[in-house]
Amino acid sequence: MATALISRRARALRGSTTVPGDKSLSHRALILGALAVGETRIDGLLESEDVLGTAKAVAQLGAEVRRDGAGTWRVWGRGVGGLNEPAGVLDMGNSGTAARLLMGVVATHPLTATFAGDASLSERPMERVMAPLRQMGARFTTRSGGRLPITVSGARHPIPIVYELPVASAQVKSAVLLAGLNTPGATTVVEPQPTRDHSERLLAHFGAETTIETLRSGGRRITVTGQPELAGHAVDVPGDISSAAFPLVAALLVPGSAVTLEGVGVNPLRAGLIDTLDEMGASIVLRNRRQVSGEPVADLVARASRLRGVVVPARRAPTMIDEYPVLAMAAACARGTTRLEGVGELRVKESDRLAAIARGLRAAGVTVEETQYSLTIVGAGGAPKGGARVAVHLDHRIAMAFAVLGMVAEKPITVDDADTIASSFPGFVALMNRLGGALTVASGRQPATRSPKPARRRGGRRTSPAKTRKAGKPGKAKKPKRRARRRGGRR
């Protein structure tokens, strides 16, 4: 039985906090660490189920992985082309990023590996990565519809390709670039719309030869030169803007709030939510801008604001793709109508997010219109009714988005599965409550509530850090016991 989460109207949110490390960068730091020679030290690693799955998988592929303390991990890689065939199945849990990026890595190693995932991931499209990787010489055996579990037989003699992305997807781009690492010659990805460029930045950080050309169309052409010697590097992972989005939007919506989110990654290809909220009239100030491991970082200061509806153009979608669920909650409280255009990709995320948002908002008394590629939300101009029970379908961001809506709605909102939040944001409930939220876990069993750096109320002290788990042994990256996942296809 999943643990339900009840979110009630909150008093003003106040305080200053960090949020857990960036998920995209955490996966990539572990993967590149595994492909580098020597030690990679990662600070601020997101210790969520998704990322712990990647740590375990790279250990199964032969890297040595050790946890030194909260968020501090070390990886000793095997060098490009040096990974081993894993003895067991690689369990990707709920993570599309882990599955697709690691399929790219394995595709050009002469080994066979089987990838599996939970009920949500087993319904997600994988042909988008298999198509280019087949051109590079990899072979795949899949369940019907090209779904997981998938067995990959990597190419013995990989072929470099030039691949134009048919969908704006950083995961597909990254899978091809990672496959290109162990491919002689130049592997090129052309993206019609720029997507998050963490792979490119981190590849350069680890010493790979990459070139990035901006096209007249606004797209990009990214080339990696194969078979480099990558050297282990230190990586400092900034806070995840996709996680910061939840306390940020909550602070805008709950009257009287003022919240600072420290050390958040503000890569322009991830920060579309801030631009959109800005257009909606939000008070968000970026302070103390700096660079951390080649990524722009800032502290975000958000104050309660009266928001108005806007049109969010399709071209912005790649820069805020994971933030639409929480943006929809802001739109539900805004004055006027908000239209989200060109968001068809949301139908193939951890759940069909357009359907899940529309169903949940309607249940909370909000008028929503849904097409295959867009969503129109009629804002309540204040607190929506609420009083809904929302099914989250193994989707962490749907769970957190509706928890945010419950903080402002007239009546409480219950999300039916709080456990799934551990995929990306361990400590979410505790962090929101420290800021002044009123979230309760229905069964009395707490979901993962550890946060790397706990919140402190303004002017107050940080609460004492959660006890760190014991450091594991090299090559034995153990993740905490997974909760039992419900079975059955995605609705």
The residue among 10 and 356 lying less far from ligand S3P, judged by its C-beta, is: 356
Is there a catalytic annotation at residue 322? yes
User: Which residue in 22, 118, 197, 322 is the catalytic one?
Assistant: 322
Q: Is 420 in the site for ligand S3P (CB under 6 A)?
A: no
The residue among 171 and 182 lying less far from ligand S3P, judged by its C-beta, is: 171
Q: Is 243 in the site for ligand S3P (CB under 6 A)?
A: no
CB of 349 to ligand S3P, least distance (A): 6
Q: What would the x/- binding string for ligand S3P be over residues 175 to 204, using CB under 6 A?
A: ---------------------x--------
Q: What would the x/- binding string for ligand S3P be over residues 157 to 176, using CB under 6 A?
A: ------------xxx--x--
Rounded-to-integer distance, Cα 338 and Cα 327, Å: 10
CB of 419 to ligand S3P, least distance (A): 19
Q: Is 97 in the site for ligand S3P (CB under 6 A)?
A: yes
Tell me the sheet residues that pair with 74: 41, 66
Angle between helices 241-253 and 428-435 (to 10 degrees): 30
CB of 317 to ligand S3P, least distance (A): 9
CB of 283 to ligand S3P, least distance (A): 27
Q: Is 477 in the site for ligand S3P (CB under 6 A)?
A: no
Q: Is 105 in the site for ligand S3P (CB under 6 A)?
A: no
Q: Is 49 in the site for ligand S3P (CB under 6 A)?
A: no
The residue among 200 and 419 lying less far from ligand S3P, judged by its C-beta, is: 200
Q: What would the x/- binding string for ligand S3P be over residues 336 to 375, using CB under 6 A?
A: ---------x------------------------------
Q: What would the x/- binding string for ligand S3P be over residues 301 to 340, using CB under 6 A?
A: --------------------xx------------------
Q: Is 43 in the site for ligand S3P (CB under 6 A)?
A: no
Supply the residues annotated as catalytic.
322
The binding site for ligand S3P (CB under 6 A) comprises 24, 97, 169-171, 174, 196, 321-322, 345
